[in-house]
Amino acid sequence: MTDKIGVIGTPGKWSTEALADAIEARTGFRQVIDMARVTLDLEAGTLLCDGVDLCALDGLVIKKVAETYSAHALDRLEMLRVAEAKGVKIFSPATAILRLMDRLACTVTLNAAGAPMPPTTITEDEAAARAALARYGAAVFKPLFSTKARGMVLLEADAPDAEAQIAAFKAENPVMYIQKKADLSGHDLGMVFLGGEYICTYARVSQTDSWNTTIHSGGKYAPYEPDAELIELGRRAQAPFGLTFTTVDIALTPDGPIVFEVSAFGGYRGAQEGCGIDAAALVADHVLEQVRA
């Protein structure tokens, strides 16, 4: 019997199609699901996309639920919980991803787990934001929903327009997430885990004078070999989330390693270009093993 496993992602995007290819090669079944085309009918008990009821599939692999993070993306995950309740195995579980897409939810969980993080302040009060910036000297103001540093603003405490910039940021982000700027020394790390097991680590190396190293800002992937202590830090950081495939973002600073966040969906391209590892193939094998268990 064919295992019917769908891939939730962005049709046409490399990582989504690579994952769908890997699953099709192993099962003969291919279904790429765009959550924008999914309809939940609670009365009928169906979750339909292009005529296919996702509740009737054996499994779903979530590569991406939306092109950008937002509260609306959380609604899409809630819809997938209906399929979970009907016994469809989902990788990673929708409830696990729900705890990660909001930056604050991720931060609170990492803090509770004792992960070393940059000094961070969360507030809706502009006076408190100004005080935090004064303490930090320089800080990154981050939207609660964003990836690849989109919407982030680097502010200097002594900038003449700092107060105006804080007000402008708050106008778009009522809850301000303020993190002391870390010395990244031109690179940071993506530590890859599958089913809680360590796979590899890649570096994102800045190619410009940008304050961040993201690929979106011109960074490049490179291989990196961490020591056992650093791997254990990454393992402890991702453990509370219960994800199938993830990347832990770690920076090496003069004061020691710090964890920025745990990725909801993992870095397929980073694993490929930085480590030479076909993450899609590894995920497909892992998913099939779990579905058939």
pLDDT of residue 16: 97
Strand order in the sheet with 245-253: 220-223, 197-205, 187-194, 245-253, 256-262
Three-state DSSP at 241 gives helix
What is the pLDDT averaged over residues 29-33? 97
User: What is the pLDDT confidence band of residue 99, given thresholds at 50, 70 and 90?
Assistant: confident
Strand order in the sheet with 5-8: 32-33, 5-8, 59-62, 89-91
Comparing 11-25, 93-107, 108-122, the range with the smallest average pLDDT is 93-107
Neighbours of 73 (CB within 10 A): 20
pLDDT of residue 2: 79
Between helices 94-101 and 71-85, what is the axis angle to 10°? 170
Q: What are the pLDDT digits (tens) for 62-76?
A: 999 998 887 889 999
Yes or no: say if 175 and 104 are a contact pair by the CB < 8 Å rule: yes
Residue 226 in tokens: 């961490």
Residue in the block written with tokens 């609660």 = 144
- For residue 196, which of 142, 144, 225, 232 has the smallest C-alpha distance? 232
User: What is the pLDDT confidence band of residue 45, given thresholds at 50, 70 and 90?
Assistant: very high
Residue 33 neighbours by CB under 8 Å, 6+ apart: 6, 7, 8, 9, 49, 50, 52, 54, 60
Provide long-range contacts, Cβ within 8 A and 24+ apart, for 121-129: 121/176, 121/178, 121/179, 122/175, 122/176, 122/177, 122/178, 123/175, 123/176, 123/178, 124/170, 124/174, 124/175, 124/176, 126/163, 126/166, 126/167, 126/170, 129/166, 129/170, 129/176, 129/178
- For residue 123, which of 146, 106, 104, 109 has the smallest C-alpha distance? 104
Is the pLDDT at 96 greater than 70? The verdict is: yes
**Alpha-carbon gap, residue 18 to 141, rounded angstroms:** 34
- For residue 151, which of 221, 93, 218, 68 has the smallest C-alpha distance? 68
Residue 293 in tokens: 């268990």
